[in-house]
Structure 1
Amino acid sequence: MASQWETTKRIETLVDGIFAIAMTLLVLNLSIPQLTGSVQDANLQVVLMHLTPKLFTYAMSFMLLAIFWRVNHGQFYYIKRINTPLLWITVTWLLFVALVPFSTSLTGEYGHLQSAQIFFDLNLLAIGLLAALIWYYATEKKFTDKKLSLEDIHKIRKINMLLPTASLLAIGLTFISPSWSPLAYASIVITERFFK
């Protein structure tokens, strides 16, 4: 019988907890606007319009985190065992997941600047590469369900390369215009459909 460190239940619980916290922290980066002078509806509408980039970045980051969680959940449906190296790869992956609220806040505030956008893109690149490494390591060590076909293993490896590819495209777009960079992540949703 496997010990609790060889099964995946504990790491799956940790993943769920980190994602719940990271997704909650995203909204805490949005603050209620402080109005000066006379408080009228027209003033509030202007301030809310200025919040649009932050709201867009929040929504995009929330949806991306939801996708990352779903992908990880799907992978660990097939991953049946875990060892110390796989545990630490996953914990390192979670380190970058937990950084998303900060990189989102930075982009929401300074998304028009290339450095802020590249920081966000590098954060997502690290998440994508480590997610791909989790799957690669688990399949190479035969920690996955024995019923999983080689075709499915390779299909999931291809899906895992969507985020790193989108992140590199996003970094490239910052050299044209930092505000175009988030458009690259829409390609994940579009391209993922072809792998189903």
Structure 2
Amino acid sequence: MAKSRFLNSSNDRHAAVTDGVFAIAMTILVLEIAVPTIYDISSGVALNEYFINYLLPSVLIYFISFYLVYNFWENTVILFSFSKISYGILTLNMLTMAAVCLIPFATGFFFKFYTYTNVNLFFSLLILAISLLYILMFLLLIKNNFKRYFDSKEELKTAMHDSYTDGAELPNLKLYLRGITLTLFYLLLAPVISSLLSLLLAFVSPIASVLSFLLTLILVFLIRTRRFAKDNFDGIDLTDDEKEFLGNIRNSIYGE
């Protein structure tokens, strides 16, 4: 009991530190946009050039970066909804936070050199690395929280071949294979897809490479819209722990 209380306290502290890191990272993003001095802007023509060549692209990149950081924060909220979080996963989370702290720097770099392929590659690789770290953490979380399902290979094999219609008819085992966790992995894959596309477009069009991250916003919206009805598990025979766990995950994805 004492160990459980200690682990819960440790998780709460990690969650608090994580929220602080995201709050600071999202605030610093806007500070990276440089304000010109009177010596830089000496005429209306120079001001127009500043707006077109720097300010407008910077504001667009700022909103894209802000949403990406916010999306990663949402992933972290879901992470701390799991009941079993090992020290290894918490260590991976801290490594992820270190990478998140690089996003304001990468964004500031982006503001000035967004037309350069190397800068696009650096930003895209950073987002891809963070996205893959989240996938790794959630794979470990699913394994730790559903360990007993991995211990029954025959049951798992049978369940995988069952027909799937909607979330309201799933047996307990397939709560791991389908439903909430499937939605979760779709959400985790969205920034991976966007960053991979951005990497490819960086060699063709730097502007298109930047805009490809808007795909994350579109994918997340579509996933939540289309999966909402299937993630309703009312009437399923679940243990209290399973109900609490799935309820926490569902609330983290869709809100209360």
CA distance, structure 1, for counterparts of residue 201 and residue 7 of structure 2: 42
Per-residue CA deviations over 1:83-123 (Å, capped at 9, x if unaligned) read 21111111111111110001101111111000001000011
* Mapping for residues 1-196 of structure 1, pairs under 5 Å: 1=1, 2-6=4-8, 8-36=11-39, 43-50=46-53, 51-77=55-81, 79-142=82-145, 149-150=175-176, 151=178, 152-196=180-224
CA distance, structure 2, for counterparts of residue 101 and residue 139 of structure 1: 31
1:121–1:170 Cα contact (<8 Å) kept: yes
CA distance, structure 2, for counterparts of residue 109 and residue 176 of structure 1: 19
| 1:105 alignment partner AA | G
**3-state DSSP of counterpart to 1:30:** coil
In structure 1, list runs of 5 or more residues that go unmatched.
none
Shift in alpha-carbon separation, 1:193–1:32, aligned structure 2, 3 A: closer
| 2:122 alignment partner AA | F
Structure 1 counterpart of 2:240: none
| 2:7 alignment partner AA | W
Shift in alpha-carbon separation, 1:82–1:109, aligned structure 2, 3 A: same
Structure 1 residue 4, shift from structure 2 partner: 3.1
Structure 1 residue 42, shift from structure 2 partner: 6.2
**3-state DSSP of counterpart to 1:141:** helix
In structure 2, list runs of 5 or more residues that go unmatched.
148-171, 225-256
CA distance, structure 2, for counterparts of residue 172 and residue 38 of structure 1: 36
| 2:175 alignment partner AA | S
Structure 1 residue 188, shift from structure 2 partner: 1.4
Report the identity percentage.
Answer: 26
Q: How much is the aligned-residue C-alpha RMSD, in angstroms? A: 2.4
CA distance, structure 2, for counterparts of residue 20 and residue 37 of structure 1: 32
Equivalent residues, number: 193
Structure 1 residue 193, shift from structure 2 partner: 2.8
CA distance, structure 1, for counterparts of residue 96 and residue 123 of structure 2: 15
**3-state DSSP of counterpart to 2:84:** coil
2:33–2:111 Cα contact (<8 Å) kept: no
